[in-house]
């Protein structure tokens, strides 16, 4: 490696400037999981940019390796300084399928933001609905948790009866948040095992779909609780998505579009900060082993996800591999759907099913209840 700094060519000086700037950005992103955005929200934006900053620093590593300069240590140190954050975003293993043999304490779980059983950005159509049902039937989860669940009281969009039929499950808990005559939308938990109690943890106004519901489920004499969670959405409208597309594809930036995106993101960061505290406080009083799952609308390098995962086993961290992308929409195109289990539960497997039906991909895990020590 070359160590003489006095004769850096101009191109190296330019790259050194970007190396320092990008390294600083990456270091600031490590503060996002630990600094509450309700107290100081700026770091949350660096956390959102973590994947981009990570890739940019890897590019700097490659550049300095090619140049054979000691400056390669700068991005390497910055990357290694956030090793824990890195492992929450990147699984250093292939994605795992089933790893436990079938046994009485095993529960398979699917969590899925079904987007009202329609493709992203489109109206309902029967073909897509049938594909949703076929996917659920193929997977046969013991517990199925759905966000943005849409149903009618009768007809082909009576999704409650349809899912009960494909799962061969009679027990369910459905909480509607928006209702008009004959149809509604909300959150649902379906179970092949008896649901002995259920309830709602209110996170927002009652007409909002950003809530949490839970069900206490009994399997082979053991009771565990499932929290189905849908944290605060960003609330982007079509003009916001169009603006972001223009920025990423054509570098078209303007003050009004940037300000609108910025304000919506900031409000969502702060609201999710409050919501995770409500869910965690409720779970702290739970007498059973419990599981958080659902659409968190935030990334692994965020305060909301980090706070929720304290004392829990993150299914992706335990068994996931590579970059777990669970969002099928335009932004944020990251992992925003999670499964987390309390310490009495082991994670057997983790998979993201890349089926482009909703604006999310379903996450499927196997969980071992009360494992023998």
**Per-residue pLDDT for the chain (373 aa), expressed as one digit of tens each?**
666 556 889 999 999 999 999 999 999 999 999 999 999 999 999 999 999 999 999 999 999 999 999 999 999 999 999 999 999 998 887 666 655 555 668 899 999 999 999 876 667 778 889 999 999 999 999 999 999 999 999 888 999 999 999 999 999 999 999 999 889 999 999 999 999 999 999 999 999 999 999 999 999 889 999 999 999 999 888 788 788 777 777 778 888 888 999 999 999 999 999 999 999 999 999 999 999 999 999 999 999 999 999 999 999 999 998 888 899 876 666 899 999 999 999 999 999 999 988 889 999 999 998 754 4
Please provide residue 300's backbone torsions phi and psi, each rounded to the nearest 5 degrees: -60, -25
Q: What is the pTM of this model?
A: 0.91
Alpha-helical segments (H) within the chain: 10-29, 42-48, 50-67, 73-81, 83-89, 126-139, 159-167, 238-250, 255-283, 303-309, 315-319
Compute φ and ψ for 121, nearest 5 degrees: 80, 10
Which helix (H) or strand (E) element contains residue 15? helix 10-29
Cα separation, 189 vs 113, in Å, equals 12
Please state the domain extents for the chain: 10-81, 106-369
CATH class of 106-369: alpha beta
- Find where tokens 């509604």 sit: 184
């Amino acid at each position: 490696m070359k160590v003489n700094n006095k004769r850096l060519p101009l191109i190296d000086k330019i790259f050194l400037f970007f190396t320092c700037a990008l390294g600083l950005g990456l270091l600031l992103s490590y503060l996002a999981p630990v600094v509450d955005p309700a107290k100081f929200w700026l770091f949350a934006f660096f956390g959102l940019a973590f994947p981009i900053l990570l890739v940019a620093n890897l590019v700097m590593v490659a550049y300095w390796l090619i140049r054979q300069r000691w400056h390669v240590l700068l991005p390497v140190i910055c990357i290694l300084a956030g090793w824990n954050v890195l492992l929450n975003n990147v699984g250093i293993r292939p994605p795992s399928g089933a790893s436990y043999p079938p046994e009485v304490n095993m529960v398979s779980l699917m969590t899925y933001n079904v987007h009202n059983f329609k493709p992203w950005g489109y109206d309902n159509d029967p073909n897509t609905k049938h594909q949703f049902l076929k996917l659920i039937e193929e997977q046969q989860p013991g517990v199925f948790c759905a966000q943005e669940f849409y149903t009618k009281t009768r007809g082909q969009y009576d999704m409650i009866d349809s899912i009960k039929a494909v799962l061969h499950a009679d027990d369910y808990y459905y909480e509607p948040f928006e209702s008009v005559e004959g149809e509604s939308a909300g959150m649902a938990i379906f179970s092949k095992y008896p649901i002995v109690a259920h309830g709602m943890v209110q996170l927002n106004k009652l007409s909002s779909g950003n809530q949490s519901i839970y069900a206490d489920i009994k399997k082979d004499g053991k009771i565990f609780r499932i929290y189905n969670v849908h944290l605060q959405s960003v609330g982007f409208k079509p003009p916001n998505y169009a603006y972001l597309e223009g920025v990423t594809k054509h570098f078209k930036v303007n003050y009004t579009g940037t300000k609108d995106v910025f304000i919506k993101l900031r409000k969502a960061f702060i609201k999710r900060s409050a919501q995770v505290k409500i869910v965690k406080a409720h779970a702290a009083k739970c007498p059973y082993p419990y599981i958080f799952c659902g659409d968190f609308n935030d990334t692994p390098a965020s305060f909301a996800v980090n706070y929720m995962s304290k004392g829990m086993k993150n299914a992706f961290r335990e068994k996931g591999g590579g970059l777990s992308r669970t969002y099928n929409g335009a932004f944020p195109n990251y992992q925003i759907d999670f499964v987390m289990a309390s310490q009495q539960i082991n994670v057997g497997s983790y998979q993201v099913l890349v089926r482009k039906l909703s604006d999310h991909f379903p996450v499927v895990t196997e969980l071992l209840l009360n494992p023998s020590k």
